[in-house]
Structures are given as C-alpha cells and as structure tokens.
C-alpha cells in the first residue's frame, strides 16, 4: 500500500486543537461559557408555557469552567496541539499521539469542545493518525464520515473486509454510548426544568446561562442502550437476512448484512450533542423530537443505500425491504424491549416525548394506539413492499 503523507491527519488535528484553544481562551476572558442564542428574551418568559420559540447553544457548561478550572482545559487543548505537531515531526509515534489527541479532545467537552466543530475535527484527525499510513477514507472514522455522507462505495469495503465485523460491533456499542449519554443528560436537565419543585433560579441557569446538571442516574440510559444494543442488532440483521436472502433471493450472507446495518446507525451518534442546546420551556420536547426524527431518517437512508449494495438489488427493492423489515423490528422492539425497559410508573406522560429512559424524569415511550391502527399501518407497509417488488425473486 502506498503511504500517504500525514498532512490530512495533521491538519485536522491542528485545526481542531486551535478551535478548542480559542473556545477555552474566550471562556477564560469572559469567565463564563460561550452562549449563542436566537435572540434576547426576558428571563420570566423563557420558563413560561407560552414563551415564543427561542433557543440557545452553550459552548461550555457553567459549573465546569469557572475560575482556576479553565487552566485544566487549556492544558488539555495544549496537549492536543502539541501531539498534532509532534506527529508531523515524528509520525513513528502515531498510535500514542493519536490516542492522546482523541482522549484530550473528548475531555474538552465540558469547555465547549472547540465550538463542537473542533472536537469533531480533532477526533477524526487523531483517528486517522492512529491508523496512518492507511488512506484516510479507509480508516474506521473515515468510514464513519462516508456513511454519514451516504457514500454507497463505503459499503463495498465493509462487505469484503474481514475485520469489518469487529468494527461493526464496536460501532454499535459506540453509537449507543453516545446517543444514550446525550439523551440521558438532556432528559435529566429538561426534567429538572419541568419539575415544579426545582427552584426557578436553577431552571433559568440551565436554560439561559449554560448550566448543566450531572447525576449518576444519567448513566442508566447508555448502560441500558449498550446492554441491549447487540441483541437488537442481531435481531434486525436476522430480519433483513430473511427478507433479503429468503424472500428476495439475494446471495448475500448474514455477517455481511450485519456489518452494513451496524454502520448505518452512525447518524444516531449525533444525539450526543443534545445537552449543548436548550429551548424555551414549551419547546423543550420539540428539540429532541426533531433531532430524533432527523437522525433516524438519516439512518434509514444509510440503511437503504447499504442494503442495496449488500443485497445487489434495485433501490426500490432495498427501500421496500427496509420498510417491511423495519416494521417487524419496530413491533419486536415494542413487544419486548419497550415493555421490559419502559417508562417507570409515576413518570408524567406530558413531559418529554423522548424514549424509554429508566429512572429518568420526563421520559415516555413512542407507541401507536389503538391496535387497529398498528395493523392498518403494517398492512400499508406490506402493500408498499409488494409494489416495490420485495416479494419478487431477485
């Protein structure tokens, strides 16, 4: 394999480190997180049930960056920048330096993560550095980017590469940790705002000034997600295998379908960034619902493209297979996992329509009622799949 110069990994890591450093220097000068909002709003309005649509993004969490603490975050940013420079000088230390960049970039999250963009750039640069001299597009994180871009060619390497199964399993775990943390952390803080016993001053600090509360129970959700992620991955892979191989007549293998499905989950990892953004009180539920809908639609598109390559079928057949397979998977999820890990008794159903979040406030589950509507929904999906040729042999 022809070795590439380490320029791309170096530039991404450097640019990410510089953004992280700038983010933290601004915090050091202001003594508070960097807040970007849609406009000014009266403090008494933001918690009103009739407040206008308003949002804010906090690049840094108040309570984690004030005073002498900012020195710690500046040291972390300096380590990222120093590691990137050292890599360009001595790339032989690529694994150590790549690991340092990834770890200390992640540790910069409470200080804003370089306006989020710096965090992402530094992590991708560090990941490419770790696997250098492998071409950037063939690295693990390079595949993440290509899946997110809906690049159909990435699935060809996933189908043929033997090591891709281990990467697929790691992807499932990583995505569920990220999404679980984001959903759990946001739900906990949004639940505090909605809780009538929470002091108004605390709710205003979260909504207006970038405070973010932490509690050990937030870890319940990522642990729960990871605990059932592999099982759900195998179930969905099995469903798609039956549809693709036994019904459509593709010659693909279960393992290859599993790899494609695992990487299709990549867009879900963006749910990790939910705690950075809060809205005015009546829109607290709307923001996570929008992000949930967008990332899941993104995942479905990635899955359709991936299965088209894996099963070697038309785009229409792939779409039909995803629709009918997704419906069966949804029913299985509702009957097994939602029932087992559903909303605890006593949780208000008028709070946040996020997902089953055990022991977290403001969590309910998605469902379709009454049962007759479920059967009608499934019937429409089956008819749609028939029209797309799913039940016609490949």
pLDDT tens, position by position, 327-374: 888 888 777 766 665 543 333 333 343 433 433 333 434 555 556 676
* Average pLDDT, rounded, for the chain: 84
The partner residues of 59 in beta bridges, in order of sequence, read: 34
**Number of Cβ within a 10 Å radius of residue 81:** 20
Element (H, E) at 148: helix 140-148
pLDDT, residue 388, reads 74
Report which of 387, 374, 258, 260 is spatially closest to residue 327, judged by C-alpha positions: 374
Q: With contact defined as beta carbons under 8 Å apart, do 235 and 332 qualify?
A: yes
304 Cβ neighbours under 8 A, 6+ residues apart: 315, 318, 319, 322
Helix (H, G, I), strand (E, B) or coil at 59: strand
pLDDT, residue 342, reads 54
pLDDT tens, position by position, 130-147: 988 888 888 888 898 899
b (16+ CB within 10 A) / e for 224-260: bbbebbeebbebbbebbbebbbebbebebeeebbbbb
CA separation for the pair 175, 271 (Å, rounded):
9
Collect the ranges in the chain with pLDDT lower than 70: 1-6, 337-372, 374-375, 393-394
Q: In what order do the strands lie in the sheet with 55-59?
A: 34-37, 55-59, 277-279
What is the pTM (predicted TM-score) of this model?
0.85
Estimate the crossing angle of helix 164-194 against helix 140-148, to 10 degrees. Answer: 60
Q: With contact defined as beta carbons under 8 Å apart, do 17 and 118 qualify?
A: yes
CA separation for the pair 329, 341 (Å, rounded):
16
């Amino acid at each position: 394999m022809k070795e590439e110069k380490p320029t791309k990994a170096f530039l991404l890591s450097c640019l990410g480190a510089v953004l992280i450093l700038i983010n933290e220097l601004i915090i050091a000068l202001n003594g508070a997180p960097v807040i970007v909002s849609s406009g000014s709003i009266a403090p008494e309005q933001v918690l009103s049930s009739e407040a206008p649509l308003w949002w804010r993004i906090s690049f840094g969490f108040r309570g984690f960056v004030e005073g002498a603490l900012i020195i710690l975050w500046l040291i972390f940013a300096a380590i990222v920048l120093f590691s990137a420079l050292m890599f360009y000088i001595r790339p032989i230390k690529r694994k150590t330096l790549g690991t340092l960049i990834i770890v200390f970039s992640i540790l910069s999250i409470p200080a804003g993560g370089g306006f989020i963009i710096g965090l992402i750039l530094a992590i991708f640069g560090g990941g490419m550095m770790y696997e250098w001299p492998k071409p950037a597009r063939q690295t693990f994180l390079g595949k993440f980017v290509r899946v997110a871009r809906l690049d159909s060619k990435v699935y060809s390497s996933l189908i043929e590469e033997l090591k891709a199964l281990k990467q697929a399993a790691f992807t499932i775990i990583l995505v569920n940790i990220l999404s679980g943390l984001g959903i759990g952390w946001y739900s906990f803080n949004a639940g505090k705002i909605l809780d009538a016993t929470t002091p108004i001053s605390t709710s205003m600090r979260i909504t207006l000034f970038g405070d973010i509360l932490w509690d050990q129970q937030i870890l319940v959700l990522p642990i729960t997600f990871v605990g059932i992620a592999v099982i759900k991955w195998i179930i969905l892979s099995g469903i798609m295998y039956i549809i693709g191989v036994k019904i459509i007549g593709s010659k693909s293998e279960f393992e290859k379908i599993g790899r494609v499905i695992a990487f299709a989950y990549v867009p879900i990892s963006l749910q990790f960034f939910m705690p950075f953004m809060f809205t005015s009180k009546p829109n607290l539920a709307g923001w996570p619902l929008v992000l949930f809908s967008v990332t899941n639609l993104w995942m479905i598109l990635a899955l359709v493209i991936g299965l088209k390559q894996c099963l070697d079928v038309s785009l229409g057949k792939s779409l039909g297979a995803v629709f009918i397979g997704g419906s069966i998977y949804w029913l299985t999820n509702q009957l097994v996992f939602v029932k087992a890990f559903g909303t605890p008794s006593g949780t208000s159903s008028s709070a946040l329509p996020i997902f089953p979040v055990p022991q977290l406030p403001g969590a309910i589950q998605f469902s379709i009622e009454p049962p007759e509507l479920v059967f009608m929904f499934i019937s429409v999906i089956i008819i749609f799949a028939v029209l797309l040729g799913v039940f016609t042999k490949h």
